[in-house]
Amino acid sequence: MSVVSLLGVNILNNPAKFGDKYEFEITFECLEQLEKDLEWKLTYVGSATSDQYDQELDSLLVGPIPVGVNKFVFEAEAPDTKRIPDADILGVTVVLLTCSYDGREFIRVGYYVNNEYETDELNADPPAKPIIEKIRRNVLADKPRVTRFAIKCFCARRVPPEQPEADVQPDDEEYGAEELAEEAEEEDVAAAGEANGEAVAAAAGEDDAMGGVEGAEPAGEEEMSEDGSVDLENESEDDLEEEEEIAEGEAAGGDDAMEVDDKPQTVMAH
């Protein structure tokens, strides 16, 4: 929404003679205090073929402007007929009412203007040289064409103020420091919880592994009896006799078996 809004334009003297002043009663609203004045201009389009015949009838600076609805009357002199081609004095032309702030136009209102003689006889057979005193103008006030232009903000207080102290603000007082500390603390707690969970899971895995070892059947116990004892009677008698013979032989030649070679043994490293 614009800081300045045009609420209405009322043409006070319409219709009027061609040489009479233009009188516009302008009503607008200002939403904020303006630092500079508003510049209003009224331009008469002298010819539809070239803008070199355009005339600025008058300009007006309005200000200081209070906040709220404002109204004023803008008066402008009639155009100089010497600067208008004779063929373009009669007929339809345009007047432009514009408003600018700080040299930048932000609103334009265009009105069609019909210039004709006061009598039907002159209109039916107009003289080669226009008779200005007998020409009447009629501004089509009920059919304006309004154009708005976007410009930079009107007042300086819409611009954020400078904050040099923000550059020297301590790091521990930065915006969001507390939130960042809380997030870091939550992350540490979550990480500790995750580590504890992994440790518990690892311990449980070790228990399962140990349980599997304890529950496994010992190797070589396929011949255990139903009550869990080993049946020694199933051992081969030949094996027992062989062990007895070996024991007797060791007893007979014990001295030879106990001889020790004084030379050191050579160990091959692979």
Q: If you write DSSP's letter for every residue of 160-176 in order, what string do you get?
A: PPP-GGGTT--GGGSTT
Is 249 a domain residue?
A: no
**Residues listed for the chain:** 270
Q: What is the mean pLDDT of the chain?
A: 74
Q: Is 176 left (phi over 0), alpha (psi -120 to 50) or beta?
A: left
Question: What CATH number does residue 133 fall under?
Answer: 2.60.40.1490
Please say whether the dihedral angle defined by the alpha carbons of residues 241, 244, 248 and 250, taken in this order, is positive or negative. positive
The pLDDT score that the predictor gives to residue 212 is 46
| Structural Rg of the chain based on CA atoms | 56
Ranges 4-18, 70-84, 175-189, 230-244: which has the least confidence? 230-244
Q: Is the pLDDT of residue 269 over 60?
A: no
Is 203 a domain residue?
A: no
The pLDDT score that the predictor gives to residue 227 is 47
What does the block give as tokens for 5? 């809004």
What does the block give as tokens for 72? 């004023």
Question: Are 2 and 105 within 8 A, CB to CB?
Answer: no
Is 144 a domain residue?
A: yes
Is 188 a domain residue?
A: no
What DSSP state is assigned to residue 128?
Answer: S
More confident residue, 109 or 212: 109
In angstroms, what CA-CA distances link 157 with 31, 36, 53, 161, 183? Answer: 13, 13, 41, 8, 37
The pLDDT-based confidence of 226 (bands split at 50, 70, 90) is: very low
Is 32 a domain residue?
A: yes
Q: Is 133 left (phi over 0), alpha (psi -120 to 50) or beta?
A: alpha
Q: Is the pLDDT of residue 202 over 70?
A: no
Domain extent for 142: 4-158
The pLDDT score that the predictor gives to residue 189 is 56
Query: Mean pLDDT over residues 23-49, rounded?
Result: 95
> How many structural domains comprise the chain?
1
Q: Is the pLDDT of residue 62 over 90?
A: yes
Is 237 a domain residue?
A: no
The pLDDT score that the predictor gives to residue 217 is 46
CA 124 to chain centre: 65
Q: Is the pLDDT of residue 104 over 60?
A: yes
Is 54 a domain residue?
A: yes
Ranges 38-52, 121-135, 178-192: which has the least confidence? 178-192
The pLDDT-based confidence of 86 (bands split at 50, 70, 90) is: very high
Is 71 a domain residue?
A: yes
pLDDT tens digits along 134-183: 999 999 999 999 999 988 755 444 444 444 444 444 444 444 445 555 66
What residue type is assigned to position 13 of the chain?
A: N
The pLDDT-based confidence of 263 (bands split at 50, 70, 90) is: very low
The pLDDT score that the predictor gives to residue 82 is 94
The pLDDT score that the predictor gives to residue 122 is 95
